[in-house]
Amino acid sequence: MFLLKSICALAVIAVVAASVLNKPEKDTRIVGGEVAAEGSAPYQVSIQGRFGHNCGGALIDKRWVLTAAHCIQGANPDSVTILAGTNDLNSGGVRYECEKFIIHSRYNRPSFANDVGLIKLKTNVQLNDKVKTVEYDYRVVPDGAVVRLTGWGRLSAGGPIPNLLQSINLTYVNHEECQKYYGPNNSVDIGHLCTFQGKGQGACNGDSGSPLVYQNRVVALTNWGVPCATGLPDAHCRVSYYHDWIRTTMKSNSNRGVQKNR
């Protein structure tokens, strides 16, 4: 399987996944999309390390970013910045420092499960036309719903990371149908939301943690997929399943550093 965090992490995860599932390697970025209109996803942020863009995330509060756990696991908050307010990785926007990373206490138990995390910023973001928070949804997405994914993931497997934010509309595939693609004993659980639009359209490396939006609410975060847009559904963290965890963690957490919360 591919997690969308980095090429190195992807290679390791893909080997493990292939041996467990007897499936092709997996990885994630937007393939077959288009350049997003400026300001059309003001909640989208870029999670950046020493070498630039690493993952995506959604600004769900002036102080909080929602992302995938594998994007922040093992990372030092002091070495990561959040870029908000721009579609162009090379121009504009404002950088914010991270105070704390929190990942789900059962992340990757079992493999690829509970891949959800929160980043608390050191200061509130300044909201404007290009920087806005977005609600995270408690409702289940209806069958056949069309959701929007945005991100700076690679444009093809092994291809370049785009400077400009990409956007694509994808169709929600319910849990039972998604499992049919992968067969029994797979890594698609009830905490995942699957999407599929067709071969050549989907997520890729660098899209990890990026939000999928339905009716102006975040319904999922990119987790993993088979590299890239090869004709199988991508699996994302289902926000409705983790809604209470997100809400209670944000409300109760105030300590500095890295911790795990149920």
Residues marked active site are found at 70, 115, 208
CA atoms 242, 246, 249, 251: torsion sign:
negative
Q: CA angle 114-116-118, nearest 5°?
A: 145
Residue (of 243, 246, 245) closest to 139 by Cα position: 243
Cite the DSSP H helix spans in 104-230. 175-182
Torsion of CA 80, 136, 26, 48, to 10 degrees: -10
255 CB neighbour count, 10 Å cutoff:
11
Residue (of 26, 28, 29, 10) closest to 18 by Cα position: 26
Map residue 214 onto helix, strand or coil.
Answer: strand
Amino acid at 13: I
Residue (of 233, 214, 94, 120) closest to 175 by Cα position: 233
Separation CA 47–CA 54 (nearest Å): 6
Which pairs count as long-range contacts for 73-77, CB under 8 Å and 24+ apart, including other chains? 73/103, 73/107, 73/117, 75/49, 75/101, 76/258, 77/101, 77/119, 77/257, 77/258
| DSSP H or E stretch at residue 246 | helix 243-252
Separation CA 195–CA 30 (nearest Å): 12
How many residues can be counted in the chain? 262
